[in-house]
C-alpha cells in the first residue's frame, strides 16, 4: 500500500508540475531574492454575536451511524463554520497582500484535503489558479466531491464533480475503529478559475455538512489566522500594497492600503462583522418526524469521536 501511495504521489507531482508551468506562463509574479523584507502582523476578530452552527439531521443523509461519530448525541451533526475565541479572535480567515509582482517563492504546491469522519480537513486553505487540489478518503463510506468556483456577485460555477470511493482499509462496520491506516487513492482535481471568481468551494454530494473552502492567491504573501485570530506575513518586499482579510461565511472582503518599509514590521488588525438574522435553512430542532425511528430500523447514532455542543 505504501508503494501504491508513492506512485499516486508521483502522479500528483507530475500533474502539479505541468499545471504549475501552465500557470507560470500566465502569471506575472516573479520569484526573486528579497532584500530588507518587512513583515505584517495582526489579528482578525469577529464583531457581533457568533452565529449558531448549522445543524444537519443525520437520518436525512446516508451513513447516519458512521457519520454520527461526530454529533450532538441527539442525531444532529453540527457544522461550526465560525470558530471564535473568548476575545473575538476569528480562526481560518485568510489575510493576503495584493500587488506584489516579485518576491519569495511559493511554499504551497498541491493542497491536500482529507475526508475524515465525514468532514473535510482542513476547513480552509488556499489554492492557485491552474494548479490542482488533492482529496483522499479516510472513511469506510463513499463521498461525492462537488467543487465550485464562486463569488459574491457572479454566483457559483461547477469545476468538477467526482466520486471518492470508500477506504477499504478502514474496519467497515466497526464504529469504534480509528484511522490507523493508509489513505485511499487520491482524487486530483484541476482548478481553473474564471475571471472575477477567486473563491473555491467543495462539498460532499452525499453529506451536505462536509464543506471545505479556499481562496485563490497569485503570490505567496498570505496567512491563515490561528485559533486566536492572529496572522503574520514575512519577507515582504518594501512597497505599497493592498491588504485583504476574508472569511467564507462573512462574504465581504475587507481591504486597506498598506506601506511596508525596509526591515519594518507593520501591525494591522481587522474586524469582520458577523452575519445577522437567519443565514441558513439548517438548524437544530426537536422534531420527532426527523428522529431515528423514521428509518424503520434500529439506528444507533453515538458520538464516539466528538460530542458536539
Give domain status of residue 261, yes or no. no
**pLDDT, tens digit, 9 for 90 and up, residues 102-118:** 999 987 678 999 999 99
Residue 122 domain flag: yes
pTM of the model: 0.83
Q: Is residue 39 part of a domain?
A: no
Using alpha carbons, select from 15, 78, 76, 25 the residue that is nearest to residue 51: 78
Residue 232 lies in a domain: no
Does 189 map to a domain? Answer: yes
> In DSSP terms, which residues pair with 266 in a beta bridge?
40
* Domain membership flag for residue 294: no
Residue 25 has pLDDT above 50, yes or no: no
Q: What is the DSSP string of 21-83?
A: HHHHHH---EE-PPSS-EEEEEEEEEESPPPPPEEEEGGGSS-HHHHTTEE-SSSEEEE----
Domain of 7 in residue numbering reads as 1-29+107-218
- Residue where the block lists cell 430542532: 285
- Is 85 inside a domain boundary? no
Closest among 252, 209, 180, 193 to 62, alpha carbons compared: 209
Please report, rounded to a whole number, the percentage of residues in the chain having pLDDT higher than 90: 63
User: For the chain, what is the domain count?
Assistant: 1
**Other CB atoms closer than 10 Å to residue 144's CB: what's the count?**
15
In a domain, 153, yes or no: yes
Main-chain dihedrals φ then ψ at residue 267, nearest 5 degrees: -110, 125
Q: How far apart are CA 66 and CA 297, in angstroms?
A: 15
Q: In CATH, what number is assigned to the domain containing residue 4? A: 2.60.40.420
SS3 content of the chain, % helix, strand, coil (to 5): 15, 40, 50
**pLDDT confidence tier of residue 295, bands split at 50, 70 and 90:** low
Q: Rounded distance, CA 288 to CA 70, Å?
A: 21
* pLDDT tens digits along 264-292: 999 999 999 999 877 776 777 665 555 55
Q: What cell does 209 get?
A: 455538512
Amino acid at each position: 500500500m505504501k508503494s501504491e501511495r508513492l506512485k499516486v504521489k508521483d502522479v500528483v507531482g507530475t500533474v502539479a508540475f505541468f499545471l504549475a508551468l501552465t500557470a507560470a506562463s500566465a502569471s506575472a509574479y516573479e520569484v526573486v531574492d528579497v532584500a530588507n523584507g518587512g513583515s505584517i502582523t495582526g489579528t482578525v476578530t469577529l464583531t457581533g454575536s457568533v452565529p449558531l452552527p448549522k445543524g444537519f439531521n443525520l437520518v436525512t443523509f446516508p451513513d447516519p451511524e458512521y457519520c454520527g461519530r461526530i454529533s450532538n448525541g441527539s442525531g444532529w451533526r453540527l457544522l461550526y463554520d465560525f470558530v471564535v475565541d473568548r476575545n473575538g479572535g476569528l480562526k481560518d480567515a485568510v489575510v493576503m497582500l495584493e500587488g506584489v509582482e516579485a518576491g519569495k517563492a511559493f511554499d504551497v504546491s498541491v493542497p491536500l484535503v482529507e475526508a475524515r469522519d465525514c468532514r473535510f480537513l482542513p476547513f480552509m486553505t488556499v489554492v492557485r489558479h491552474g494548479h490542482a487540489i488533492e482529496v483522499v478518503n479516510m472513511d469506510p463510506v463513499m463521498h461525492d466531491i462537488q467543487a465550485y468556483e464562486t463569488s459574491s456577485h457572479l454566483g457559483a460555477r461547477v469545476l468538477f464533480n467526482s466520486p471518492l470511493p470508500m477506504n477499504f482499509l478502514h474496519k467497515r462496520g466497526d464504529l469504534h475503529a480509528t484511522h490507523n491506516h493508509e489513505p485511499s487513492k487520491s482524487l486530483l482535481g484541476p482548478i481553473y478559475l474564471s475571471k472575477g471568481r477567486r473563491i473555491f468551494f467543495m462539498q460532499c454530494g452525499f453529506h451536505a455538512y462536509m464543506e471545505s473552502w479556499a481562496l485563490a492567491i497569485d503570490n505567496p504573501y498570505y496567512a491563515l489566522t490561528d485559533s486566536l485570530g492572529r496572522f503574520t506575513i514575512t519577507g515582504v518586499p518594501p512597497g505599497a500594497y493592498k491588504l485583504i482579510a476574508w472569511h467564507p461565511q462573512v462574504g465581504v472582503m475587507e481591504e486597506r492600503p498598506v506601506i511596508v518599509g525596509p526591515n519594518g514590521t507593520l501591525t494591522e488588525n481587522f474586524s469582520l462583522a458577523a452575519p445577522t438574522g437567519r443565514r441558513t435553512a439548517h438548524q437544530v430542532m426537536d422534531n420527532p418526524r426527523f428522529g431515528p425511528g423514521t428509518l424503520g430500523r434500529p439506528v444507533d447514532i453515538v458520538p464516539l469521536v466528538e460530542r458536539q455542543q
